[in-house]
Amino acid sequence: MATIRDVAKLAGVSVATVSRVLNQNGYVNEETEKRVRQAIKKLNYKPNEVARTLFKKTSKTIGLIVPDISNPFFPELVRAVEDVMNIYDYTVILCNSDEKNEKEKEYMEVLKQKYVDGIILTTNQLELDEVSEINVPVVVLDRPLNHSFPSVIADNYGGARLATRHLYEIGCRRIAHIQGPSHVVNAVERFNGYRDEMKELGLWDERLVILGNYQLKQAKEAVLQALKEYDIDGIFAGNDAMAVGALKAVQQLGLRVPEDVAIIGYDGIPLTEMTTPELSTISQPIYEMGAIAARILVKKIEGKPLEQIHYVLPVELIERQSTRKGERK
């Protein structure tokens, strides 16, 4: 394997000159740079990226911290971030925190030690000062942290009201909500949207709020219990995974969807088209959210101005069999 000294010898220059060409740091006349680049190509020289990272304190890598990679919502976000970062020759280090504060802190420390050029956060377990002290650009995705950081989210509050109103319009009156984790901002925003819409409709009943923590199995068990205690004819789940859990619970009790209980989820993941019946959902522009966050981070890393700091993207009602009006009794 060729070394930087081999390149310098072939080009007839010093090692320092080769280093300046590689790092685009300092003056090298055009003819000398041409000789160096020809030598690099002839020897198929590959710079030592670890050494370059230590020297330049940059690495052409970014960190992406997600709370639960098993949730089908996040792989699509990850794909979008990776696609955009690859265009700009950045490598993505993926970190799965399992919604644990200590794990997020550990990842932040590891990413700092690896000299990442920036971080995209889709979690909100960390305190503001813990994020600020890392001293690299940070973009917040899906779960807003603080207005001092650029953010990309969807209209969680509006989407929740849209879902609840949809259930009302197809005839549901006893509408339950499966809520996500109480510490997660978007779960709270969706709950607030549901609550405010129910109050406006004169249907609010706090007993119909079910805790599902964004988990399919937990949602299923919670819905099984709720259906035994209350007369429910509609369910708005705070994410699609919990909507699938609700569907399984309803069917396990021998009830029909949507004839007896209508169900709508939130996110718009492909899984909602694979169930029987297919699940209605509030669809977020997942790929677009990830791509916008990645482009913002690149601009922050490169010191370029941002046209916009905070993005709130619109959501869309996707009506499928689980809330089809003609199939309700």
In the chain, what percentage of residues exceed pLDDT 70?
A: 95
Residue 18: what are its φ and ψ, rounded to 5°? -60, -40
pLDDT-derived band at 51 (thresholds 50, 70, 90) equals low
pLDDT tens digits, one per residue of 96-107: 999 898 999 999
Quick one: pLDDT at residue 57? 58
User: What CA–CA distance (Å, rounded) separates 316 from 285?
Assistant: 9
Fold type of domain 156-284: Rossmann fold (3.40.50)
61-154+286-314 — its CATH code? 3.40.50.2300
Question: Where along the chain do its domains lie?
Answer: 4-56, 61-154+286-314, 156-284
pLDDT tens digits, one per residue of 147-186: 789 999 999 999 999 999 999 999 999 999 999 999 899 9
Helix axis angle, 240-252 to 216-229, nearest 10°: 50
User: What CA–CA distance (Å, rounded) separates 156 from 187?
Assistant: 8
Q: In a 10 Å sphere around its CB, with 0-12 CB exposed, 13-18 middle and 19+ buried, how is residue 65 labelled?
A: buried
Residue 175: what are its φ and ψ, rounded to 5°? -100, 120
Quick one: pLDDT at residue 311? 96
> What is the pLDDT averaged over residues 275-288?
97
45-54: long-range contacts (C-beta < 8 A, 24 or more apart)?
Answer: 45/2, 45/3, 45/4, 45/6, 45/7, 46/1, 46/2, 47/4, 47/22, 52/22, 52/23, 53/114, 53/115, 54/115
How far is the CA of 90 from the CAs of 83, 117, 141, 152, 302, in angstroms?
10, 9, 18, 20, 12
CATH of 4-56, one of 1.10.260.40, 1.10.30.50, 2.40.30.20, 1.10.1040.10: 1.10.260.40
CATH topology identical between 61-154+286-314 and 156-284 = yes
